[in-house]
């Protein structure tokens, strides 16, 4: 039986969380509403609800989608390569760390762990990547430097360590080599952990703009998020992008719906992932709770 004070508390707790949930959602609703509103009615102020429904902004974005499509392509490539290569390499390293038979296990662990404590900083990395390696303005600058994250390696190691050692011994006695054991036993057994890491890597890759800011000036190599932040900084770019290609001649004399177009672009960029990721919520939750991460 609930007492009266418990009932009050129940209502109160739910109310507070619901209010916070609304605060979480309102900005998303606002982006969508602005993008679906008529430009002229926005001039008096943004609102949470749609004002004079209009698809002009989206028409505008998709009328000349070369820039956006190209950014989609680049983002897809770095997300795919970054996730696949990253997860495979990190799982391989994590396997070595979790095996007692691996002779260099401890020094290797320290080797990886030390990078979490100390870094050379942004300037030496910048000079290395742009000058020494000449990776500036190549897609590799967006993939290679961030491919290995010691944090995920330790997370995977914790998971591998949970796989019964007797299984390893049994396969070993049967004459299997380490590569076979890794690919045929450990990988199939750790799909959930691999999925968790893959999703977390995917999310950061999809949201990548920082390395573009540092290493890329070529418009053909810009990611979605970077394109977006560029437009935010420089309103006129909306018009430049729109006018490229010349197919929008008819629009040249019309006032460009820049405010709504900006928000429409934000929706186009953020939308797909927002629809996909919540379905994988449990993997993110698991990633946070997979256990102590130790060096």
Partner 1 sequence: MCRTLPRRRKSIWMDGTMEFALLALPAFILVFIFCYIPMGGAIIAFKDYKYDTGILGSAWVGFKNFEFFFQSNDAWRITRNTLGMNALFIVVGTIFDVGFALMLYEIKQKWRIKTYQTIMLFPHFISWVIVGYMVYAFLNPSIGFVNVTLQKLGIEPISWYSEPKYWPAILTFAYIWKHVGMNLIIYYAALMGIDQQQFEAARIDGASRIKQIWYISIPSIRSTIIILTILAIGKIFRADFGMFYQLTRDVGQLYPTTDVIDTYIYRSLLSLGDIGMSSAVGLFQSFVGFILIITTNTIVKKIEEESALF
Residues 133-162 that bind partner 1 (CB under 8 A): 133, 144-145, 147-148, 150, 153
CB of 203 to partner 1, least distance (A): 7
From residue 49 to residue 88, the character string flagging contacts with partner 1 as x (rule: CB under 8 A) and all else as - is ----------------------------------------
- What angle separates helix 258-276 from helix 224-233, to the nearest 10 degrees? 150
Residues near 98 by beta carbon (within 8 Å), at least 6 away in sequence: 157, 160, 161
- Binds partner 1 (CB under 8 A): choice among 53, 80, 104, 165: 104
Residue 274 makes contact with partner 1 by CB under 8 A: yes
Specify the long-range contacts of residues 21-30, CB closer than 8 Å, at least 24 apart: 28/274
Residue 106 makes contact with partner 1 by CB under 8 A: no
Interacting span for partner 1 (CB under 8 A) from 50-58, 94-102, 190-198, 250-258: 94-102
- Binds partner 1 (CB under 8 A): choice among 40, 106, 119, 247: 119
- Binds partner 1 (CB under 8 A): choice among 95, 160, 168, 241: 95
Residues near 182 by beta carbon (within 8 Å), at least 6 away in sequence: 91, 92, 95
A 10 A CB-CB count for 222 gives 23
Window 174 to 233, contacts with partner 1 (CB under 8 A): 177-179, 182, 203, 207, 209-210, 213-214, 225-226, 228-229, 232-233
Beta-carbon-side half-sphere exposure of residue 140 (alpha carbons within 13 Å): 6
Alpha carbon distance 73, 68 (integer Å): 9
CB of 62 to partner 1, least distance (A): 19
- Binds partner 1 (CB under 8 A): choice among 11, 14, 55, 63: 14
Window 243 to 272, contacts with partner 1 (CB under 8 A): 259, 262-263, 266, 269-270
37 phi/psi in degrees, rounded to 5: -95, 165
Alpha carbon distance 58, 230 (integer Å): 19
The enclosing H or E element of 73 equals helix 66-98
- Binds partner 1 (CB under 8 A): choice among 66, 101, 106, 244: 101
- Binds partner 1 (CB under 8 A): choice among 17, 19, 55, 69: 17
């Amino acid at each position: 039986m609930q007492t009266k004070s418990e009932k009050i508390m129940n209502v109160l707790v739910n109310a507070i969380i619901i209010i916070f949930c609304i605060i979480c959602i309102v900005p998303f609703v606002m982006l969508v509403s602005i993008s679906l509103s008529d430009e002229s009615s926005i001039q008096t102020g943004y609102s949470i609800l749609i004002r004079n429904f209009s698809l002009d902004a989206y028409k505008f974005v998709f009328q000349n989608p070369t820039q956006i499509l190209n950014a989609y392509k680049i983002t897809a490539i770095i997300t795919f390569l970054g996730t696949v290569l990253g997860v495979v390499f990190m799982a391989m390293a994590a396997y070595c760390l979790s095996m007692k038979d691996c002779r260099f296990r401890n020094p290797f662990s320290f080797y990886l762990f030390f990078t979490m404590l100390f870094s050379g900083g942004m300037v030496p990395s910048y000079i290395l990547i742009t000058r020494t390696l000449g990776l500036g303005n190549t897609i590799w600058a967006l993939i290679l430097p961030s491919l290995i994250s010691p944090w995920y390696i330790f997370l995977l190691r914790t998971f591998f360590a949970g796989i019964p050692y007797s299984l390893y011994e049994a396969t070993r006695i049967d004459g299997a080599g380490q590569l076979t054991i890794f690919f045929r036993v450990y990988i199939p057994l750790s799909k959930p952990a691999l999925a968790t890491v893959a999703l977390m890597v995917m999310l950061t890759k999809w949201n990548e703009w920082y390395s573009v800011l540092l290493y890329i000036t070529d418009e053909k190599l810009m990611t979605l998020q970077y394109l977006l932040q560029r437009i935010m900084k420089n309103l006129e770019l909306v018009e430049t992008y729109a006018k490229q290609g010349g197919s929008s001649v008819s629009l040249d004399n019309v006032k460009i719906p820049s405010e709504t177009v900006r928000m429409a672009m934000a929706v186009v960029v953020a939308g797909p992932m927002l629809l996909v990721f919540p379905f994988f919520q449990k993997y993110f939750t698991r990633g946070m709770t997979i256990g102590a991460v130790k060096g």
